[in-house]
Amino acid sequence: MPDDSQLHPLPVMHHPLAFDMIDAVLHAPQMNPGAYNHFALAPMSGALGAEITGIDLGDLSDAAMAEIERALTNHLVLAFRGQDLAPADQIAFARRLGPVEPWPYAKPMDGFPELTELISGPVDINNFGGSWHTDSSTFDQPPAYTTLYCVSCPPVGGDTSWANQYLAWETLSPEMREALRGMRLLHSVARSFGDHSRSKGSADVTTTPVSVPPEHEDLENLHPVARTHPVTGRTALYVNAGFSSNFEGRSETESRPLMAALMAHGATPEFTCRLRWQPGTLVVWDNRCTVHYAHNDYRGQPRVMRRAVVTGERPF
Ligand SMILES: [Fe+2]
């Protein structure tokens, strides 16, 4: 059980008229980002995220890469502005962080099996990733990191938000944390791509079709709700709205209210940062301690993104 003084580093503020106000939070590296020699870093919010300038991801020394990994551990989401990355450059960068494998639910980019192109076109209503989630938690070893590169985007709309799940965990009551320790959630492909599968097709679906290969139809994995980050040793809340089916040993009906409450808590505005994309922005984030949300507010506007994911460990 963490020391309570760690959980409330700032004075506790209670609003007299509202229930469920969270205590003031701060993710310490946001205020004290430290020194970096290879780039300039500007934190995005008090919770997580940093914008980085002054470095070329296509030409990284080992020393620069070590600084990027330190910044990623501290800030959870890094947005590199002004990059000019060919598909092979993005894959090469992702490989510096770990093994890069194809994503099995969409046709990869021609000639680059590790890259998925996420394309929105003029008739789309759905978007890709338009709910709070962490990537591919149905896998035995979900992606530790996702890299997402903006090829083109509308002048406004289509932002992405992330939420810090260390803060989500640490702001739960001690009693709730105690209850959740040792609990596991079932993450299932049937749940994530079931009723609302974009692969079922109509004129109004995204132009990046998603389909589940037969060998993945029954894929499901139990993962801990209280996930330990292998680098920091900190606990993060690990719940995935669209993918989590039920708590181990409990029915879906029994599980739904608590799952919904935890997801809503995890997306508390004070835990978030929000990024406005530009062509040439590459973002890398840590799926083990964040959730993210793709804002669907650019209907009719073309948008092209490229994604490569870095395989992680089995959650523990
Ligand atoms: Fe995602």
pLDDT digits (tens, 9 = 90+) for 141-169: 999 999 999 999 999 999 999 999 999 99
Active site residue 292: yes
Active site residue 38: no
Using alpha carbons, select from 274, 305, 311 the residue that is nearest to residue 292.
Answer: 274
Phi, psi of 303 (to 5 degrees): -155, 130
Active site residue 75: no
- Spot the catalytic one: 191, 292, 303, 306: 292
Instruction: Write out pLDDT tens, residues 1-58.
Output: 455 545 555 445 555 555 567 788 999 999 999 999 999 999 999 999 999 999 999 9
What are the residue ranges of helices labelled H in 39-171? 62-75, 87-97, 165-170
- The rounded Å distance from CA 172 to ligand 1 centre is 24
Average pLDDT, stretch 97-126?
92
Question: Bridge partners of 53?
Answer: 40
Instruction: Write out pLDDT tens, residues 218-275.
Output: 899 999 999 999 999 999 999 998 888 999 999 999 999 999 999 999 999 999 999 9
- The rounded Å distance from CA 170 to ligand 1 centre is 23
- Cα of first residue to Cα of last residue in the chain, in angstroms, is 16
* Four-residue CA torsion sign, 251, 313, 227, 196: negative
Detail the DSSP E strand segments found in the chain.
40-43, 50-53, 77-80, 116-120, 143-152, 160-164, 184-188, 220-224, 226-228, 235-237, 244-247, 272-275, 282-286, 290-294, 303-311
Active site residue 135: yes
Local confidence band at 205 (pLDDT 50, 70, 90 cut-offs)? low
- Spot the catalytic one: 75, 135, 187, 288: 135
- The rounded Å distance from CA 133 to ligand 1 centre is 6
- Spot the catalytic one: 27, 75, 133, 227: 133
What's the confidence (pLDDT) of residue 277? 98
- Cα 289 from Cα 237, distance rounded (Å): 7
- The rounded Å distance from CA 66 to ligand 1 centre is 25
Question: Bridge partners of 246?
Answer: 186
- The rounded Å distance from CA 129 to ligand 1 centre is 5
Name the residue type at position 120: S
**Domain range 23-311, CATH class:** alpha beta
- The rounded Å distance from CA 289 to ligand 1 centre is 13
Residue 216 burial by Cβ neighbours in a 10 Å radius (0-12, 13-18, 19+): middle
- Gyration radius of the chain over CA positions: 19
- The rounded Å distance from CA 131 to ligand 1 centre is 9
HSE-up (13 A, CA, CB side) for residue 47: 24
pTM of the predicted structure, to 2 decimals? 0.91
For residue 141, give both structure tokens. Answer: 């070893």
- The rounded Å distance from CA 25 to ligand 1 centre is 25
Write out the residues surrounding ion ligand 1, Cβ under 5 A: 129, 135
Residue 222 burial by Cβ neighbours in a 10 Å radius (0-12, 13-18, 19+): middle
The string of DSSP letters for 234-280 reads: -EEE---TTTEEEETTS-HHHHHHHHHHHHHHHT-GGGEEEE---TT
DSSP 8-state class, residue 112: B
**Which residue has tokens 């994995």?**
221
**Average pLDDT of the chain, as a whole number:** 90
Average pLDDT, stretch 66-83?
98
What's the confidence (pLDDT) of residue 199? 41
Average pLDDT, stretch 303-307?
96
